Structure 1
Amino acid sequence: MTCSLFYSTEMPNERAKVFGTPPAKPMRWAVDYVVKTPDGRTVVLGEKTIQRATFEELRAVMAHTIGDEVGNVATFVSWRATAYGGKKRRKGGKRKCS
């Protein structure tokens, strides 16, 4: 199971676009984000891994993280989060035919 979220301040109603099925349990999220400040500076941080957050908690965690990086002044914020995992693969090899 893979779930990806895309959030931008320019999206209608400030809702995240979801690709895949959101996980029911807390998962690790790989996050990339871009922030532009009023002075024209662009802050691009490659990867950040958020430890064990639920789908609902992720937006609050990202708002706090971006606020710590550039303060509460930003003209544009965009981020993409991806969670991998979920179902475990079955142990064992191929089934033998009699």
Structure 2
Amino acid sequence: MTCTIFYTTAMPNDRAQVSGTAPRKPMRWAVEYLIKTPDGRTLVESTKTIQRATFEELRAIMDHIIGAIGDEAGNIASFVSWRATARGGRSKRRARR
């Protein structure tokens, strides 16, 4: 099972794109994010692992992380995007015939 969530400020209706199946239990998420400022500076961070979180909790966690980074940069980001991926879980074994 793999679930990937992609969010960017350029998307309409402030909605994230989700591919795969959302995990039912809290999972560890590998996160990459990109922040651009009007003066052309770009901050890219990848492979940040967030402690176990549910699908619903992830958005609040990422809003907090992006907000903290924005405070350091002076809240002047012109573009923000992030991608989170959770992998793992158990698959049901199928009986052989």
TM-score, length-normalised on structure 1? 0.83
One-letter amino acid of the structure 1 residue matched with residue 46 of structure 2: G
Alignment of 1:17-96 (within 5 A): 17-71=17-71, 72-87=75-90
Distance 2:70 2:12 in 1: 24
One-letter amino acid of the structure 2 residue matched with residue 4 of structure 1: T
Distance 2:56 2:37 in 1: 26
SS at structure 1 position matched to 2:57: helix
- Aligned length, in residue pairs: 91
Distance 2:10 2:28 in 1: 26
- Rg larger in 1 or in 2? 1
Shift of 1:89: 7.7
Listed as ranges, the gaps of 5+ residues in structure 2 are none
Distance 1:39 1:63 in 2: 23
Shift of 1:32: 0.4
Shift of 1:2: 0.6
SS at structure 2 position matched to 1:18: strand
What is residue 15 of structure 2 aligned with on the other side?
15
Aligned alpha-carbon RMSD (Å): 1.7
TM-score, length-normalised on structure 2? 0.84
Shift of 1:88: 5.7
Shift of 1:39: 3.1
One-letter amino acid of the structure 2 residue matched with residue 85 of structure 1: G
| Identical-pair percentage | 68
